[in-house]
Amino acid sequence: MSGWDTARFILHDAHHVGGLTRMDYLPLTPAGASTLAAMVTLTPGTTVVSIDLEKNEFVLHLLDLSQGEMTLDTIRRDFVALLAVLAGERT
């Protein structure tokens, strides 16, 4: 979703349901989790609300919870896997 698509979605789609969800960020280190949080927050439609270092998970706000599992799968595939490789960690 681009920034323009996000704005249009917010302004014109009265039927969307946004909300919070959780996502683990293993096998990333705390530094990797911070980088991932920045990457996710810069992605239109997603924001990291908090990072729980003890549980190794994020609380995320998604603009469209109906796409929640797909969004989380995409984050894991496109971001977590890349960061793990860059850090020499395994997914």
> How confident is the prediction along the chain (91 residues), in pLDDT tens digits per residue?
566 666 666 666 666 788 999 999 988 989 899 999 999 999 888 999 999 999 999 999 998 898 899 999 999 999 998 898 887 765 5
91 located within any domain:
no
Q: How many domains does the chain have?
A: 1
What's the start-to-end Cα distance of the chain, in Å?
A: 25
- C-alpha dihedral, 73 to 25 to 82 to 7, nearest 10°: 60
48 located within any domain:
yes
Distance CA 26, CA 59 (A): 14
Specify the pTM.
0.79
42 located within any domain:
yes
Domain residues for the domain of 72 are 3-86
Handedness of CA 61, 63, 65, 68 (dihedral sign): negative
- Which CATH number fits the domain that encloses residue 55? 3.30.70
